[in-house]
A and B are shown apart, each in its own frame.
Chain A
């Protein structure tokens, strides 16, 4: 499979990364280079193989569950300290609803 300029544009929109039209041809070429290379995986017979999710090695549970309870909170100032823009105890963004 390979991608064209329209597909790259669509992916960039999904990823919320602005991409200038002038930069598209180069990006198309680079992504196709990577995609052509990973095509190699098609030759592997994976019929009936359970996909590996998570990174735990054999014998370890991949995700530990815990009680669903509040473990942290009441630190609004610490959370807002790095905000690029804020209004009082809120993150500020451009107007969303007209």
Chain B
């Protein structure tokens, strides 16, 4: 048998059921890999080795009794934005200090219900605000991949779910939870050569996830392949009365959709995603993806999403506005870190200045400005109107196609420290991913090839509202055609 850390979730599930490996062995293999590689990668903020082994022992008991649950004994990493009862949850921010939630997020509760083993909490950009994992108060995460001709330059894993993507790519975990507000699942998955899906808004409960921009935030999985994402999403998803935006819809068997194929499906190619200055390799990969789907029996149709170029500026009004409101709760009084002040107001101002990093402060200020008296209509209301037009663009596209195929990112992973001077240059990373968040649509990144430097590149599939099954079907075809087997330099 291959090394335990080489197993996909589907393969581990089968190996555990056949008793070829025990859950404790599998968990130990991951913990060993974490001990060896995490000091370099910095993918974990908190490692919960003891409780992971206890969970694995319980899984072995259940397997022995024939009472295995759907994710029995599968070792996962949890983005440190999900509240985990009794385990420190930081959002990679100083301001949460040693915050230990007394409750469990719904998504992680679902995974525990299904028997998953939690290895620890994964690094991220502070409050999920970033595209490089460089804004974390716990230090940057390193991408386990490096350039073939320049292996010394350390690359970013993308963000904000950089720890999740790096941990999956380096095989420290079999899968990970992540969240995506503007691309934070899909962009790091693309940069690290792994798969990730942001489901439809409302598919996964937001209860217990530290809020960034509530109308955009969605949880989803990052995993080795498309099937593993389907397995994890089925557990993570589901209606939750404690999230008033949770969709009261049945959760389909996503895994069954992975093999469904694309024969007869119409795949839209949005012409506005052909960006000026986009590297030729990205364009070539896109054309390759189109050819794969056509060969598999899909009909390719040109579609137009005319407001695409306004998606990013719309996002950078809506998201900071919601963030400025959500992050008002960090006042140094009820939980988290506190800086003492001369009076209450001074305490607030000092606590928030010391507790938030530069990017978070910047976004709170932008958000406060666009919501302030005299500017609300010009910025916030305008952005909400453009957002409605972006959503309408997609509705019109669905009259002509069943799913959309686009590149996932405009570039491969870049070096640590690049793009840090100009905030707008960093924001452009999310140009292909943000529209799906604005419209509430499911989007998935699938590794599809390598660039000339040997770095992974990914394609994105966008689907109709709550039609993740078609997204998995298309992604499954792309994955089988691409046969992506390359591995990073740093790997368990």
Q: Say yes or no: A94 contacts B313, CB within 8 Å.
A: no
Give the residues in chain A near B336, CB-CB below 8 Å. 82, 84
Interface residues of B in 26-48 (CB under 8 A from A): none
A81 interface residue per 8 A CB criterion? yes
Complexed CA–CA distance, A92 and B368 (Å): 27
The answer to whether A6 has its CB under 8 Å from any CB of chain B is: no
Cβ-defined contact, B334 with A83, below 8 A = yes
Assess the B216–A18 pair: CB atoms within 8 A: no
- Complex interface bits, A68-98 against B, C-beta within 8 A gives 1, otherwise 0: 0000000100110111110000010111100
- Given A38-B379, A52-B391, A81-B102, A57:B365 Cβ within 8 A: no
Cβ-neighbour of B200 out of A15, A57, A93 (below 8 A): A57
Q: How many angstroms from the CA of A58 to the CA of B349 in the assembled complex? A: 40
Please tell me which one of the listed residues A27, A83, A94 contacts residue B343 in the complex, with CB atoms under 8 A apart: A94
Tell me if A94 and B347 are in contact (CB < 8 A): yes
B317 touches which of A30, A38, A50, A79 (Cβ 8 Å)? A38
Q: Say whether B343 contacts A41, CB under 8 Å.
A: no
Check A37–B313 contact: CB distance below 8 A: yes
Distance A50 CA – B317 CA, assembled complex (angstroms): 17
Specify which chain A residues have a CB less than 8 angstroms from the CB of B332 in the assembled complex. 84
User: Is B245 part of the binding interface, using a Cβ–Cβ cutoff of 8 Å?
Assistant: yes
Binds A, one of B62-70, B105-113, B224-232, B356-364: B356-364
Q: Give the distance to chain B from A34, nearest Cβ to Cβ, in Å.
A: 6
**A57, B241: Cβ atoms under 8 Å?**
no
Beta-carbon contact of A15 and B368 below 8 Å? yes
Chain B CB within 10 Å, residue with most, of A11, A27, A46, A57: A57
Q: A residues within 8 A CB of B341?
A: 94
Q: Does any Cβ of B come within 8 Å of A44's Cβ?
A: yes
**Interface residues of B, CB < 8 Å — how many?**
80
- Please provide the chain A residues from 39 to 56 with a CB less than 8 Å away from any CB of chain B in the complex: 40-42, 44, 46, 49-56
How far is it, in angstroms, between the C-alpha of A35 and the C-alpha of B423 when the chains are bound? 11
Interface membership of B378, Cβ < 8 A: yes
- Interface residue from B314, B344, B372, B395 paired with A58 (Cβ < 8 Å): B395
Whether B350 contacts A63 by the Cβ 8 Å rule is no
Which of chain B's residues 300-353 have a Cβ closer than 8 Å to chain A? 307, 309-310, 313-314, 316-317, 324, 328, 331-338, 340-350, 352-353
Contact between B345 and A16, CB atoms less than 8 A apart? yes
Taking a contact as CB atoms closer than 8 A, the residue among A57, A79, A91 that contacts B391 in the complex is A57
Which residues of chain B from 213 to 231 have any CB-CB distance to chain A below 8 Å in the complex? 214-216
* Chain B residues, Cβ within 8 Å of A22: none
Q: Chain B, 374-398, contact with A by CB distance < 8 Å: what is the 0/1 string?
A: 0100110111111111010011000
Q: Tell me whether B422 is interfacial, beta carbon within 8 Å.
A: yes
Q: How far is the CA of A17 from the CA of B359 in the complex (A)?
A: 13
Q: In whole angstroms, how far apart are the Cα atoms of A57 and B328 in the complex?
A: 27
- Chain B 139-171 residues near chain A, CB threshold 8 A: none
Known: A33-B423, A44-B310. Is A64-B245 also a contact (CB below 8 A)? yes
Decide if B195 is an interface residue (CB 8 Å cutoff).
Answer: no
Which residue of A is nearest B98, CB measured?
A82
Q: Which residues of B contact A15 (CB under 8 A)?
A: 324, 352, 364-365, 368
B361 touches A17 (CB 8 A): yes
Interface hits, A17-35 → B, CB 8 Å: 17-19, 27, 30-31, 33-35
Once A57-B200, A84-B338, A94-B347 are accepted as A-B contacts, the answer to whether A1 and B384 lie under 8 Å apart by CB is no
Q: State which of B215, B316, B356, B387 has its C-beta within 8 Å of the C-beta of A38.
A: B316
Chain A residues close to B by CB (< 8 Å): 1, 3, 7-8, 11-19, 27, 30-31, 33-35, 37-38, 40-42, 44, 46, 49-60, 62-66, 75, 78-79, 81-85, 91, 93-96
